[in-house]
Amino acid sequence: MASLLIKNGRIIDPANRIDRVGSVYINEGKIVSVNDDHAGFKADKEINANNKIVCPGFIDLSTRLREPGQSRKATFASETAAAAAAGITTLCLQPDTVPVIDARAVAELIKDQAEKTGYMQILPIGALTQKLDGAELSAMVALRDAGCVAVSNANQPLKSLLILRRAMEYAASHDLLLIYRPNDHSLANNGCVHEGSFSTRYGLPSIPDAAETIALAQCLELAELTGCRVHFGQLSSRRSVIRLHQAKKYGLAVSADVAIHQLHLTEDDIIPFDSAYHVLPPFRSSRDRETLNEGLASGTIDCICSDHQPHDLDAKLGAFPETEPGISSLETLLPLMLKLVYDGTIKIEQGIAALTHKPASILGLERGALTPGFAADICIFDPEQTWEVNSENWRSQGINTPFWGMSLKGRVTHTIQAGKVIYLQDRK
């Protein structure tokens, strides 16, 4: 494997508290050193990162690639190309594929498809229950041994709190990470927007924030009872952040992420009847968004994810409640994070940490840092380059995004995975 030298870039590596202009030396797919002058190092290839930021490759904790089972929406090839263009070097795949990732054979199928695509870092999340039906527990240890980095029931409900307790006991006994998207489905009641002014004005079925906070509170109680490590996925409400802060204060082994779009949009931004704004959890109030941003800045919320869900056109046609929820969001992950930096909400080190070493730490991966000996997963981006979200720049097969046609600031120029350049921006 070729040796590589990245020089003259501003290196930001929050895990190692590095923020300086320097060089990164790579050999045999691994980091050799950062900023040390290696007189005898001969690079087969050099990248001049002048006026650019060099950081660890991003780790996305929640994605759907629509394969296996729904290739009409997207494919491994299309979505990994989008991920590479977004500086993402590791994708965590939710278990609600077709078939569900509830057996060793399905997890191995995911790994085989990743290898064929040439994007090696697709990490499956195993199903918490068989077929995600919420009743019978899956063979979690077998799924872990097959390469699953955690277990989750995705967005599907569990039949009872007893099932959740048994799952958490099982996970705790084998030191498995349990990822939980808090949502009381009976309270959510098939709603499609936040229970607030927008739902009232347009008569749409709504979801109160209590559907999230009650489910989160129940899970926190069981986490304390069982000692299970729990990661809460895609928080959306102010009171969830408050409860999470209290839980961390009292020493519970919990963490959380937020989808990047929840940090920017609220119910007031929804264009009536435009299904690009149909997401779960729904866009909530301005106060909820402010608290989510404060939670990220304070460290109460650990990570940012894309919650990438590409759809075909048919899935987003029809009346708003009848359309499928979700945003195609890999390629807007970096510029939307940088917008938080430019707005003064967070520091750039915090934004990069929330996309790199923090998710790596939660998953127990030796990634997300430019540590010598680690795999050379690296993102190089131009923080000042502006671009428009349009068909000329978009790689995902799903174009379901409320940011379509907007001008965004911040663009990836190089993505390196295990020492191999998997994306190089074409400026022609």
The predicted structure's pLDDT at residue 52:
98
209 and 307 belong to one structural domain: yes
In a domain, 285, yes or no: yes
In this predicted model, what pLDDT tens digit does every residue of 99-136 receive, in sequence order? 999 999 999 999 999 999 999 999 999 999 999 999 99
In this predicted model, what pLDDT tens digit does every residue of 194-217 receive, in sequence order? 999 999 999 999 999 999 999 999
Where is the domain boundary, 320, 339, 363?
A: 363
Is 36 one of the annotated active-site residues of the chain? Answer: no
In this predicted model, what pLDDT tens digit does every residue of 139-168 receive, in sequence order? 999 999 999 999 999 999 999 999 999 999
Residues 386-398, mean pLDDT to the nearest whole number: 96
385 and 236 belong to one structural domain: no
What is the residue range of 46's domain? 4-54+375-424
382 and 255 belong to one structural domain: no
Query: Which CATH number do you get for residue 67?
Result: 3.20.20.140
33 and 71 belong to one structural domain: no
Task: Tell me how many domains the chain contains.
Answer: 2
210 and 63 belong to one structural domain: yes
Active site residue: 60, 307, 312, 426, which one?
307
26 and 71 belong to one structural domain: no
Is the per-residue pLDDT at 35 higher than 90?
Answer: no
What's the CA gap between 155 and 5, in Å, rounded? 43
In this predicted model, what pLDDT tens digit does every residue of 220-252 receive, in sequence order? 999 999 999 999 999 999 999 999 999 999 999
Distances (CA, A) of 209 to 142, 274, 395: 36, 22, 34
Long-range contacts of 157-163, Cβ-Cβ distance < 8 Å, separation of 24 or more: 157/183, 157/185, 158/128, 158/129, 158/134, 159/133, 159/134, 159/135, 161/218, 161/222, 163/129, 163/134, 163/135, 163/137
In a domain, 368, yes or no: no
Is the per-residue pLDDT at 331 higher than 80?
Answer: yes
120 and 204 belong to one structural domain: yes
The predicted structure's pLDDT at residue 427:
64
pTM above threshold 0.85: yes
